[in-house]
Copies of this chain bind each other. A is one copy, B any other.
Amino acid sequence: MSDMIEEVHAANGAFYAALESRDLDAMGAVWEHSDRIVVTHPGWPMLRGWARVAGSWDAIFRNTGYIQFVLTDELVTVVGDTAWVTLDENILQSAESDQLSGSKATSVNVFVRDQDDPAHWRMVVHHASPVAGDG
């Protein structure tokens, strides 16, 4: 079990690394490319399927100059070939101006073991929401 938790922890870390480096290829390697995947960015509507998910990351990366995540209260749970990670995202970012601003979101990330590559877990859900009155 602890190996699996480590694998999922690594997959979750790769997700935030791709996000911080605004690297769409790295983000593509994190996700399962299927119709059943879902992303909900803070305040956004739910988007289904790899094409829409990829398009949203492309738009976010093009509009983000700098973004850094400090993850707190992270918990990984594995049940069979599925896992979910819950955590708080403490976010520092710049937009069009050079001003840095802080915000906080809370997130659930769901992963499924890749049947063709069993040591790797692919993201199937990322749902992040703003936490009121924080940041």
Grouping DSSP codes into helix (H, G, I), strand (E, B) and loop, the A interface class, with mixed when no group exceeds half, is: strand
| A36 vs chain B, min Cβ distance (A) | 5
Q: Are B127 and A108 in contact (CB under 8 A)?
A: yes
Encoded as 1 (CB less than 8 Å from any B CB) or 0, chain A from 103 to 135 comes to 000101010100000000000110111111010
User: A42 near B: Cβ within 8 Å?
Assistant: yes
- CB-CB under 8 A for A42 and B129, given A79-B82, A81-B80, A110-B110: yes
A–B pairs, 17, beta carbons within 8 Å: A38-B86, A40-B108, A40-B129, A44-B132, A45-B88, A46-B73, A46-B88, A48-B75, A48-B86, A79-B80, A79-B82, A79-B112, A84-B124, A108-B110, A110-B110, A127-B129, A129-B129
